[in-house]
Structure 1
């Protein structure tokens, strides 16, 4: 299996945020990197792509279906690396707004603190909207498929409980997260070895991510080093369609379920 990861549009399953919201009129700046290693469903996806590279010439309908299925897996759960830059502003002590941007997506989050105790236990709930724009470079692994465009819209609902020390030197947090993603990806399929004949491909559909995240941050009172890990179960409902001149379209339905593990590491600075 090829071990290299690449930037590609994937679900954003980590946030790198403590359960406690940002204090009123303060600003948190978060810089982090997250990766989806080729294990679980992303690993099986990469195996599919590498197997698809061994198809014969000219392509049979069965081999075109194999390539379309590999392209579907790349859209749903690609192995990838992404960076995050986020600005989080405390509107009040119980409500914050966040703007975030990465190499593959951008969006925002609104979060409310609903639990605050004297011993430092907190609970918060939020809603995140993200827009993805970068395709996974599938052509790095196979000459038969070339990504052209990808659009991804995502809504996530994170619920966090955690503990923050009295002087904010340490934070720990954990909780469930539910995410819904809609995607529309376009790609070309080379029908012969010289790519003189091409089929037009499209992958569209939905995926649901059920999982949770756990994290910790140490430092303070203004700078923290943070680590977060997310594990989710993916349930996709996806259709791939490949059209060829003079032939009927080939349709492939992709509903392979699996797990996705995403670790993230970063720095949080408060102003």
Structure 2
């Protein structure tokens, strides 16, 4: 049942989770050339996020037959906040990078609901130093609302806003038939959303509608590694990112500060796709 629930939530949350993949090798293309990628990520949160979501699923079912207590309603809001922060999610991604100057790349990437503009500079080259090393920075923002309006059947997200700043660092090597890369994964995000809970009506209970807001920050700290096989211009790649998210959020119900929400969790984030260089 847990696996089924995860699968359903992943389909619901398509594109909602922050993209932790980079899907870039440790080198930039030659001046005037392009690197591109197209693939799919899967975000699997564990720890506090998974526990709060599980509790929210249970309470959503209970709410169909009895009135929820104040504490249970707060937990339901927290579950909505957890899904807004980092839900189990399947995220498509497409990106392109152009080497405008020797060693310096500009890149643009779209991941489900977010658009990211970034840059990379190649510090070391395999031909000269025996290894490739690039470092860069990127800024991303969710440019459309979350894919669907309801969570857990009872909670809706409105006016969702998220900004992200990341610092990609990759070290690795490459040849005519392979790419190998890895490095630390660092990303900072800010988020803000309105939560609406529509409690169902049943015999003896008319139902209710409650409003809340959830805002805060998250810091992702971890590492990733990837490998791709192919020939010259086209490669099939796999990348795995493992990161801890340190979050600080505040949930306010009806405009009043209700509780500080701690959703520190461990995120497992595999990615697969095509990598092109031409």
State the Cα distance separating 1:40 from its structure 2 match: 4.5
Given that residues 114 and 140 in structure 2 are in contact (C-alpha distance below 8 angstroms), is that contact kept between their aligned partners in structure 1? yes
Distance in 1 between residues matched to 2:98 and 2:48, nearest whole Å = 35
SS at match of 1:63: helix
**Which of 63, 83, 98 is the equivalent residue of 2:72?**
63
What is aligned with 1:202?
Answer: 213
Given that residues 68 and 241 in structure 1 are in contact (C-alpha distance below 8 angstroms), is that contact kept between their aligned partners in structure 2? no
Q: Deviations 1:82-119 (Å, cap 9, x if unpaired)?
A: 11111110112311011111222111110011112436
Distance 1:254 1:207, change over 3 A: same
Count, aligned residues: 264
What is aligned with 1:76?
Answer: 85
1:52 aligns with 2:64: no
SS at match of 2:214: strand
State the Cα distance separating 1:59 from its structure 2 match: 3.2
1:193 aligns with 2:201: yes
SS at match of 2:82: helix
1:149 aligns with 2:149: no
What is aligned with 2:235?
Answer: 224
1:10 aligns with 2:37: no
State the Cα distance separating 1:126 from its structure 2 match: 0.8
TM-score (norm 2): 0.87
What is aligned with 1:105?
Answer: 114
TM-score (norm 1): 0.89
Given that residues 52 and 75 in structure 2 are in contact (C-alpha distance below 8 angstroms), is that contact kept between their aligned partners in structure 1? no
Distance in 1 between residues matched to 2:119 and 2:191, nearest whole Å = 23
Distance in 2 between residues matched to 1:193 and 1:143, nearest whole Å = 14
Distance in 1 between residues matched to 2:73 and 2:107, nearest whole Å = 43
**Unaligned 5+ residue runs, structure 2?**
none
Distance in 2 between residues matched to 1:16 and 1:221, nearest whole Å = 17
Given that residues 120 and 137 in structure 2 are in contact (C-alpha distance below 8 angstroms), is that contact kept between their aligned partners in structure 1? yes
What is aligned with 2:101?
Answer: 92
State the Cα distance separating 1:53 from its structure 2 match: 1.0
Q: Deviations 1:45-75 (Å, cap 9, x if unpaired)?
A: 4313212314444332212211121112112
What is aligned with 1:270?
Answer: 277
